[in-house]
Chain A
Amino acid sequence: MESHIEQKLIKRAQKGQVEAFEKLIILYEKQIYAICLKMLHKEQDAYDASQEVCLKIWRQLPHFKGDSKLSTWIYRVATNQCLDILRKHKNKTEVSIYQTHSETNEEWLIDLPSTEKSIEEMIGDQELSFIINAALSELKPEQKEIIILRDIMGCRYDEISKILGLTEGTVKSRLSRSRLALKKILLQNKEPFKSYFRHIKQKEGIL
């Protein structure tokens, strides 16, 4: 449940008090932007979408009855907005994981030497996150959405079930399927993930 202060702010914002809305939205705007950025991948698209989400929250707040947590409702509005955008752009070009790095202009599709040191040098944690996030963009919107809610926003299964209006069993199975789909994308000759994973396996003593 929301804190007492948050509930008061909600009530005041519902009456149209801009100051109350500002205090409220400041708690959530970064999370809204994060969801939009992870769903839409382009900063400008995420910016526009999250502005629209925040405005929708302002406009629709008077109809918020408080039967769910405010955050649940906000995540729902945000993911809904992104899904709508993605559906509209469904037939447009898909983003490929084979990309050049934005800063170094370096191709990802590189032939990596298999020594432990150079792999660690070339693929640090940050780069690995970059690759995984690039693969995320290749997932279907609803798979992406559930992974973002769980792994990036840190929502529990019961929270996701409320946000997406699904049973917890469906959340569990969809999340599992979505992660497997992500893994499949990463393993489909997607260097340097493959090399990195080979390295992890060696470290774990699997190979």
Chain B
Amino acid sequence: MTCKECLEQLSPYIDNELSLSKSRELKIHLMSCETCHEEYILLKTIVDHMGSWDEIHLPNSFHNDLMSQVKKESATKKTYPWVHIGASLAAVLLIYFGFMLNPYFKTNKTKPAQPMPAVQTVNEIENEIENTAKPSTYARMASEPPMQEAFTIEIWKVNAQDQNALTQFLYDSKELYNYSLQEDSVTRNKYILTFSSDSDKQKLSKALESISESFTVVESLDSLEIELIIQ
């Protein structure tokens, strides 16, 4: 095992996440290499002293504060259930009559129509399609989510050196992955990429990760966002 390999494996070794054979190999290397052993002790010291969540004390008022807020929200929901029912009914009726008056609903042409979020209306459209037995824009509408989702990648903290290379890469890959790029006017170093599909977003994020060791591709917890941080 080389020192480089050893240093790469130290972190999973400390976490006991290496295979038995890898772990044995690393142990042998640590016994013979002073530099790597020193590195190991350092990392182990840091990990061991990170502390644990159960040592943290939850402030006394936390639970009561939370529950009084939850009860307040719950009470608001319960007090006026008729408002919700009434509003839903009104929405369904409005959308239904809106559709009846919409010329595209009647003529079933291929012109794009506004997406209609109500389930009832989508069912109506499906019935209509079955009757006419012709593929149309409505078929697409009925099977797709009513709102088009935005698939984005966010790129932050691009330093001047990497900016040119990155811009070139993004420019080159634009044809391949089908996205639009806009430079944020507030923070000049932030890019927002909007994709037309999730698979394109995934592919580009992988490509970004592979082009440089100094890039950290950070997938935000919101699965549609990815950050790229350049160290």
Q: Which A positions have Cβ atoms within 8 angstroms of B?
A: 16, 18, 21-22, 25-26, 29-31, 33-35, 37-38, 43, 47, 50-51, 54-55, 58-59, 76-77, 79-80, 83, 91, 125, 128-129, 132-133, 136, 140, 142-143, 147, 150-154, 156-157, 163-166, 170, 172, 174-177, 179-180, 182-183, 186-187, 197, 200-201, 204, 206
Main secondary structure of the interface of B (DSSP, over half): helix
- Does B50 contact A142, Cβ atoms closer than 8 Å? no
Main secondary structure of the interface of A (DSSP, over half): helix
Residue among A35, A79, A142, A186 with most chain B CB within 10 A: A142
- Does B70 contact A51, Cβ atoms closer than 8 Å? no
B53 at interface by CB-CB < 8 Å: yes
- Does B77 contact A157, Cβ atoms closer than 8 Å? no
- Sort chain B's interface into a size bin: 35 or more
For window 140-183 of B, CB contacts with A under 8 Å fall at none
- Does A47 contact B59, Cβ atoms closer than 8 Å? yes
B185 at interface by CB-CB < 8 Å: no
Per the bound structure, the CA–CA distance linking A34 and B222 in Å amounts to 21
Which of A43, A176, A186 meets B12, CB within 8 Å?
A176
- Does A30 contact B53, Cβ atoms closer than 8 Å? yes
- Does B219 contact A132, Cβ atoms closer than 8 Å? no
- Does B73 contact A58, Cβ atoms closer than 8 Å? yes
B11 at interface by CB-CB < 8 Å: yes
- Does B229 contact A140, Cβ atoms closer than 8 Å? yes
B49 at interface by CB-CB < 8 Å: yes
Instruction: Quote the shortest CB–CB distance from B113 to chain A (angstroms).
Output: 28
